[in-house]
Structure 1
Amino acid sequence: MFNSKPTPAGRQNTMTDASNLQREAALKTWIDQYYPESSQTLAPASADASFRSYYRIQTPNGSKIVMDAPPALENSTPFVEIGRQLAASDVLVPHIEQVDLAQGFMLLSDLGNTHYQDILSSESARVLYEDAWNALIKMQKLDASQLPKFSPSHMAMEMDLFDEWFVGVHLKATLTVRHRQWLKEVKLALINNLSNQPQVFMHRDFHCRNLMFAANNNPAVIDFQGAMEGPISYDLASLLKDAYIDWSEEELLDWTIRYWASARKAGLPLSSDFDSFYQDFEWAGVQRHLKVVGIFARLAHRDNKPNYLNDLPRVLNYLEKTTRRYRALAPIAKILDDLQDKSVQVGYTF
C-alpha cells in the first residue's frame, strides 16, 4: 500500500535499533492488556509505503490486526474518524476494537489477506471492479465538506515530486528552461481541470493493494486515512489506471462507461456527456501519475524501498499514452522523450 499523501521533504524514519526494540516492547505490553500473551504470536501482516506497520496476532476471539503508527511520523486520528464515517455508510472497513492515539497503536478486525491484486484476472476483473465502483459510489455520496481540500497548492505540491524525485534524483537530470515552462503550463491546465470537476469524497489511493476481497459486502477498503474532498474522477483513475496492474484500453473504456452509468443512476453530479467525463478521468490520471512517479522514486532513493521502481515503467506508459492524446498535455510526452537519453545513461529505461 503506498500512501499518496506527500511526505514533507527530508522527513526520515530515524528510529534506531534500540528505539525500535523499545517500541516493539511497548506494543507487546499494550496488546497484552486486551489479549494476555497474544503478543507472543505477533507476525508481520503487510508491507506499507508509509511509516505504519501492520501485524497479525492470534487471540481467543480469532486473529486480529495490530497497527503501529508512530505518532511523530503518522497522524492516526483521520483513520479513526474516516473509518467510522465509511462504516456508517455500509462501506466495509476494518473495525477498530481498541485504539491508543497517544502511542499510535490500534487493534483492528482481521479482514484476511486476499488483496484485489492477488485475484484480479481477465475472468474476475469485471465482477471485482463492479463491486469496487459500487463501494466507491457509496463513498462519493458522503458529505466530504469537512475533509481537507484537494486544493490547487496541494495538487501542485504532488506534481512537483515528479521534477524533484524522478527527474532530479532518480535520473540525475536537470530540466531545461523550456521543459520547466512546459511543465508549469501543463500543471496549471491539470489543476484547472481537476478544480472544476464536481468535488466529492476522494479516497486518494483507491487501487488493487488497498481493496481486499470479502465474502460479504465486497470489497473491504483500507488505507483511507488520507481522504480529501476532490475531483469525482480521481478515484476511478486510481482504480482503473492502477500503478500495479495492466488492462487494455478497450477494457478501461468499457469499465469507465459502466461506472459513469451507475454513478449517474445513483445521483452523483456527473456530466451527461460521457466524452467530457472520460477526458476528466484521463486528466485526473495524469495528475496522479506525475505524483506517483515522484513518490516511487522517493521511496526508492530516500526510504530504501527499491521494489517500487519495478512499477515505474507502467506509470510512465500511462503518462506517455494519455498526454499524446491531448494537445494541452502533449508537452509531458515530449519531456519524457527528451529524458530517454538521460535514463539510459543512469541504467534505467522507461
Structure 2
Amino acid sequence: MQLIQSFLTACFPGEAIQLVPITGDASFRRYFRFSIAKKSYILMDAPTPAEDCSRFVATQQAFVQAGLLVPQIIAQDIPLGLLLLSDLGDTLLLSKLTEQTVTAFYHQALAELTKVRTISSTSAGALPVFDQAFLLREMQIFIDWFVLQHLKLTLNEQEQAMLLRHFLLLADTALQQPQAGMHRDYHSRNLMLQPNGDLAVIDFQDVVTGPVTYDAVSLLKDCYIKWPAELVQVFSHELYQSLRAQAQLPLDISPEQFQLWFDWMGLQRHIKVCGIFCRLYHRDGKAGYLADLPRVFDYVLEVTSRYPQLHELDLWLKQKVQPALEVRG
C-alpha cells in the first residue's frame, strides 16, 4: 500500500486519496476506486510475477485500435504492476439482462465481437495461439481441480484414457474452425454498460488467436446466467449467417456442422470452467464461484447428452461425476 500511495502521489501531488476496494475478479489483480475533483478513477494492482501488466497495456492499445471501448490508461508503473485507469462505472451487463432486454443487448455484444476478431497482434507481437496443447491444458484443470480435488474421485487407467480421447476430439474439432482474435472470457460480467448505451469491454488481457465460435458461446452460454436453449440456438444461427456474410466462414460449412462446432466449443469451455471455479475455491479461497458450478455442469451435460459421439463421456459424467457433485454441493 505504501508503493501504491507513492504512485498516486506522483500522479496527483498534494491530493488526499481514499481508496475504496472493488470486488476482484478471478485473478491475482486488485482494483480500487477513488475520486479527485469529482472525477472517478480506477487503480489496478497487478503484482508481478503473478500478473503481466505490460501485456495488459499492449492489449489495451490493440483493442482501442480495433474500435473497442476499453478503460483508458492514464498512468503506469510496469515494474510495480500499477495502472491508473479511467472509470467505466459499475453497471455490469449482467445486472441489466432480462427476457425483455436480452435480444437487443446480445445483438450489440455479438456485434462488438466482429472487432475483436480483427485483432491478430499487439505491440508485443503476434497473439498467442489457442492450439491443441493450450486446449488440453485447460481441460486438465477439470480433472485436477474438479474431479480429483473437489469431488475427491479417483480415476482408473480406462477412465483416464476415455477422458483423453474426448479431450483430443474436442480440441481437434475446435481447431477445424476458422481462427481469429479471441477475448477468451467474453461474458456479461466482463461487459460494462455505459450511460450512453455503449458496451465497454474489460478483462481482455488474455486475448489469443483461436476458434471463431469461442467468444460467442462464452456469451450465449454464460456461466453466470442461463437462457432457454431455443433462444441460444437462434443466436448461434444468426452468428452462422453473419460469419458467412463477412466471409469468415467457408461456404461449404453447413448449419449443422457449425452448430456442432458451437456446442462442442462451449463444452470445452465449460469443462475448463468447472475446474477453474473449484481451483478458485480450493487454492485462492474464493468460494463465491461454487454457487455457479451447477449451472456450468448442466451446460456440460446438455451437450454430452445430445451427441452420440460423446456417449461414453456422457455416461461417465452421469454415473460417476453427477452423483458426487450432488453430494458435495
Contact 1:237 1:284 (C-alpha < 8 Å) held by counterparts = yes
Partner of 1:14: none
Amino acid at match of 1:100: D
Give the match's secondary structure for 1:58. Answer: strand
CA contact (8 A) 2:185 2:218 kept: yes
Instruction: State the AA in 2 paired with 1:146.
Output: A
The 5-angstrom pairing of residues 76-87 of structure 1 reads 76-87=53-64
Cα-to-partner distance string for 1:6-31 (whole Å, 9 max, x where unaligned): xxxxxxxxxxxxxxxxxx11101101
Q: For the residues of structure 1 that align with 2:224 and 2:28, how far apart are their CA atoms? A: 21
Q: Structure 1 residues 45 and 36, CA, compared in 2 at 3 Å: closer, same or farther?
A: farther
Change (3 A) 1:217 1:98: farther
Contact persistence 1:141–1:268 (CA under 8 A)? no
Asked if residue 143 in structure 1 is aligned to residue 127 in structure 2, the reply is no
Shift in CA distance, 273/215, structure 1 to aligned 2, threshold 3 Å:
farther
Residue type of the partner of 2:67? D
> Is 1:242 aligned to 2:222, yes or no?
yes
What secondary structure is seen at the aligned counterpart in 1 of 2:75? Answer: strand
- The alignment status of 1:94 with 2:71, answered yes or no, reads yes
Does residue 1:319 correspond to 2:323, yes or no?
no
Match of 1:6 in 2: none
Compare relative contact order (CA 8 Å, sep 6+) and give the higher one, 1 or 2. 1
Shift of 1:270: 5.2
| The one of 274, 284, 288 aligned to 1:293 | 274
Q: C-alpha distance in 1, partners of 2:155/2:66? A: 46
Quick one: distance in 2 between partners of 1:279 and 1:153? 21
Paired residue for 2:5? 28
Name the SS of the counterpart of 2:126 in structure 1. coil
Offset at 1:61? 6.3
Amino acid at match of 1:199: Q
Question: 1:86–1:93: 8 Å Cα contact kept in structure 2?
Answer: yes
Q: For 1:147-162, list aligned pairs within 5 A.
A: 147-162=127-142
The one-letter code matched in structure 2 to 1:102 is P
Q: Please report how far the alpha carbon of residue 33 of structure 1 lies from its aligned counterpart in structure 2 after TM superposition.
A: 1.1
CA shift, 1:175, in A, is 1.7
- Long gaps (5+) in structure 1: 1-23
Letter in 1 for 2:328: Y
Q: 1:128 to 1:38 in 2, by over 3 A?
A: farther
Deviation at 1:348, TM superposition (A): 2.0
Q: Tell me which of 178, 193, 196 is aligned to 2:173.
A: 193
Q: CA deviation at 1:306?
A: 1.1
Give the structure 2 partner of residue 330 of structure 1: 311
Q: Secondary structure at the match of 1:201?
A: strand
2:26 aligned residue: 49
User: Match of 1:267, SS?
Assistant: coil
Task: State the Cα distance separating 1:32 from its structure 2 match.
Answer: 1.6
Inter-partner Cα distance in structure 1 for 2:119 and 2:209:
10
Whether 1:208 aligns to 2:185 is no
Residue identity matched to 1:321: E
Counterpart-to-counterpart distance in 1, 2:149 and 2:83: 35
Rounded Cα–Cα distance in structure 2 between residues aligned with 1:54 and 1:162? 28
1:284 to 1:315, Cα distance in 2 relative to 1, 3 A: same
Retained in 2: the 8 A contact 1:150–1:228? yes
Residue 178 in 1 paired to residue 155 in 2? no
- Determine if contact 2:120/2:209 at 8 Å carries over to the other structure: no
How do residues 3-42 of structure 1 correspond to structure 2 at under 5 angstroms? 24-36=1-13, 38=15, 40-42=17-19
RMSD of Structure 2 on Structure 1 (CA): 1.7
Please tell me the residue identity of whatever aligns with 1:305: K
Question: Does the residue aligned with 1:205 lie in a helix, a strand or coil?
Answer: coil
Could you tell me the percent identity over the aligned residues?
37
Deviation readout 1:69-106 (Å, 9 max, x if unpaired): 00121011221111111111111011111111111000
Count of aligned pairs? 324
Within 5 Å, which residues of 2 pair with 1:117-132? 117-132=94-109
Q: Aligned-pair distance for 1:39?
A: 5.6
Aligned partner of 1:225 among 194, 197, 205: 205
Corresponding position of 1:273: 254
Distance 1:275 1:243 in 2: 24
TM-score by length of 2: 0.94
Equivalent AA in structure 1 for residue 5 of structure 2: K
Deviations 1:312-346 (Å, cap 9, x if unpaired)?
100100000101111222233222212234335xx
**Structure 2 segments unaligned to the other structure (5+ residues):** none
After TM superposition, give the deviation of residue 263 of structure 1 in Å.
3.1
One-letter amino acid of the counterpart of residue 331, structure 1: E
1:115 paired with 2:92, answer yes
Q: 2:269 & 2:198 partners in 1: Cα distance?
A: 25
